[in-house]
Amino acid sequence: MFVSGLNAQKKDLKGYLFAYFEGKGPAEKQEQLRFAVSDDAINWKALNNNEPIIPSKDISNTGGIRDPHILRGADGNSFYMVATDMNTKKNGWDYNPGIVLLYSKNLLDWKSSAIDLEKLYPKKFKDIKWVWAPQTFYDVKAKKYLVYFTVRFNYNLKLDFYCAYANKDFTGFEQEPKLMFSAKDGAIDGDVIYKDGTYHFFYKGNTKDENGKEIKNGIKQATSKKLQGPWKESFEYLDAYADTNTNVEGSSVFKLNNSDEYILMYDLYSSGRYEFQRSKDLYHFTEKTESFTKDFFPRHGSVLGITTEEAIRLQEKWGGVPQKLLTSEDGTFRFKSEENPIIKHKFTADPAAFVENDTLWLFTGHDFEGGQKSYKLKDWLVFSTTDLKNWIEYPVPLKIEDFKWDKTNDAYAGQAIKRNGKYYWYISTNGSGIGVAVADKPQGPYKDALGKPLLTNADCFASTHSWTCIDPTVFIDDNGQAWLFWGNGVCYYAKLKENMIEIDGAIKKIDFEEFKFTEAPWVHKKDGKYYLSYASGFPEKIAYAMADNIEGPYVYKGILNEISGNSNTNHQAILEFKGQPYFIYHNGAIQTNGSSYSRSVCIDILEYNPDGTIKPIVMTTEGVTK
C-alpha cells in the first residue's frame, strides 16, 4: 500500500508484493494467507507454489483468514498486516467477531495476535455479527498505527467503519474502537490513502431506494483533511462495472513505484477476475479496465512496494519471484531450486562443478532458447550455492566471441578448476578447438588466456571428423599434477604444465575392453581409485570405468546413468559436497520447450557400493532439496 513516513518513502522500491487469500482449490485451503510478487504490478507470480505462507490455524481463532492488508512501517523496515478472522468454509457467513494482527521485521517471520471484539469490549460490541476487512494506516501526527474495519451488529443492518490505535507491539488496541465513518447506505472493504493534504477513503458502497432496497453498488470514495474524519462522501461510483450486473468488492489503491500514477484494483468475485483502473489525482480514473495476469485466483487483498533485497529474501524463503526483481545492482540473480531440473528460468547444459570451502560452483553451457532444432550455444554460465536449494546466478562470465580465434560461433562444453589462486576454464568449440580462459574469481569475468587454441583437431591424431576436439575435463591429482581429458569418438588425455595453459608432453588416448566412448569424459578420485565416466552410445548413456592409475589400465564397470529424459545427449559431473556424493547431468525435461537442443541441468544422489563401484543413478523429479 501507500508508504507513510519519510524513511519508508526513501526506499528504492523495485517491485510489488500482493497479500491475498485464494478463491479456488480445496475449500479448507482457500482462507489462508498467500503472497505473490510482480515487477510491474500487472503480471503476478504466486510465491510458495500458491501454498499458504502461514497456516490460518496458527494465527486465527476461527482457523481461517480473509482480506489481508499489508503495510510498510514508518521506519521503512518493519511490516504490519491485518486480516479478517473468519472461516466461512467451516462456520458459514453468519458470525465473526474479530481480526488478526501480524508484525514482521523481514516479511518472512510474522508474530500474530487474534482480537475478539465481543470478548474484549462486551459493553459496546455485544451482539456483534461481523468484523470485516481490517486495514492499517500510520498516523504521522499521532505517531501510531490506526487499525480500521467494518462492523455490523445483529440488531442493525448498517455497515459502518470503526477504528482504534494499535498498541506499541501491535498485539491489540490501546482503547475501545470508536466509529470512524458511517456512509449513508453502509460500506465495506475500506482503504485509506493520503495525497496532497487529503485522505481518500475508498470502499464498496451502495445506493438504496426509499424502502431501503439496494439498487446499485460499486466502488465509492470519501475525503477528509483528518485521518479519522469527518468524511465528505461522494455518491459517484468509480469502478467501470457500477452500472452493470458485474459485482466488485475488495477495492485497494496503491501508488506505482517511481511514478505519479495510482492503481485502483478490485475483486470481481463472481467471475474470478481481478481488474484495475488508473488515476493520477485519485479523483478521476481511466474508464477502461485492465486485467492482471496471474497464476493464481486471488480474493480481496492488498499490494506493497518492495526492494530488491526484500524480493531476494522472499525468493529464498518461498521461491517464485520474477527474475527481473532478483537481479541485483551487481548483476547477480538469486533463485530457489525446488526439484529437477534445478534451473528453470533458462536452458542449461553440459554441467561441470567444483567445491570451494562451503560453496558449490556450477559451470554450464547455455542452450539459447526452447524449441531449438539444432545446438545453439553462444555463452557459458556460472552459478553457486551453499545448500543446493538457494542459488546465485552471476553475470555472463564468458562468451564464444571472447575467443577471437574461433570460427564456429558455438560455445560447447567445458570445465573450470582452481590453481595457484586463479580459476581456469577449459572450453570447447565446434571445430576450432579447445581454449582456456582465466579469472581471479570463480564467477569471473574470464578472459582468453592464450589468444589461440590450447588444442585443435590436429592434436587428435586418431580421429578424422571435425568435432573430435571437444568436451575438455580437467583433474588435479594429489601429487599436484594436472591432467586434461577430451574427445569425441576417441578419448584423449595429456598432462598440463604448472601454468595450466600448456600441454606437458605427449598426447595419448584411452582404450580398454568394452570402451564405447562417445564424448563427455569426467575424471574423479575416491579412496585411491580413479573413475573415468563418459557418454556412451547414441542416444547417450553415462558409463564408467575404474583404475589404480590415472593413465589406466581402466576396467569397465557398467552403465551409470540411462538415457536422460527427452535428450539424446548426456553430460555429467561427479563430486562430493558436504559429505554427500552427487551426480550432476542434463536432460530435456522442461516442458513444453525442453529437448535435445534445449536442455536443463539436474542433480541427484550418487552412492558407492562397499567395493568402490557406483550404484546406478536414480534420476528423480524431486531432486536433492526435499
Helix or strand or coil: residue 611?
A: coil
Residue with cell 495510482: 262
Instruction: Give CA–CA dist 446/424, Å, rounded.
Output: 8
Cα–Cα–Cα angle for 88, 93, 96, nearest 5°? Answer: 85
In terms of Cα–Cα distance, which of 607, 13, 540 is closest to 309?
13
Which set of grid coordinates corresponds to residue 363?
A: 559451470
Instruction: Give CA–CA dist 165/55, Å, rounded.
Output: 26
H/E run at residue 302: strand 302-306
Asked if 202 and 219 count as a contact pair (C-beta separation under 8 A), the reply is yes
What DSSP letter does each residue of 406-454 carry, written as one string?
Answer: -SS---EEEEEEEETTEEEEEEE-SSS-EEEEEESSTT---EESSSS-S
Instruction: Give CA–CA dist 260/234, Å, rounded.
Output: 23
Specify the length of the chain in residues: 626
Asked if 54 and 70 count as a contact pair (C-beta separation under 8 A), the reply is no
H/E run at residue 575: strand 573-577
Q: Report the chain's terminal Cα–Cα distance, integer Å.
A: 35
CA-CA-CA-CA dihedral for 397, 403, 406, 411, to nearest 10: -10
Residue with cell 575424471: 523
Distances (CA, A) of 265 to 253, 278, 321: 6, 9, 21
Residue with cell 526484500: 310
Single out the catalytic residue among 39, 402, 519, 540.
Answer: 519
Write the single-letter amino acid at 111: K
What DSSP letter does each residue of 537-567 carry, written as one string?
Answer: TTTTEEEEEEESSTT---EEEEEEE---TT-
Write the single-letter amino acid at 503: I
H/E run at residue 178: strand 178-181
H/E run at residue 317: helix 308-318
What DSSP letter does each residue of 452-499 carry, written as one string?
Answer: S-SB-GGG-TT--STT-S---EEEE-TTS-EEEEE-SSSEEEEEE-TT
Instruction: Give CA–CA dist 560/545, Å, rounded.
Output: 10
Which set of grid coordinates corresponds to residue 355?
A: 567445491
What sections of 319-442 are H helices per DSSP? 323-326
519 as an active site residue: the answer is yes
Give residue 405's Cα distance to chain centre: 39
Single out the catalytic residue among 85, 275, 310, 350.
Answer: 350
379 as an active site residue: the answer is no
Catalytic machinery residues: 350, 519
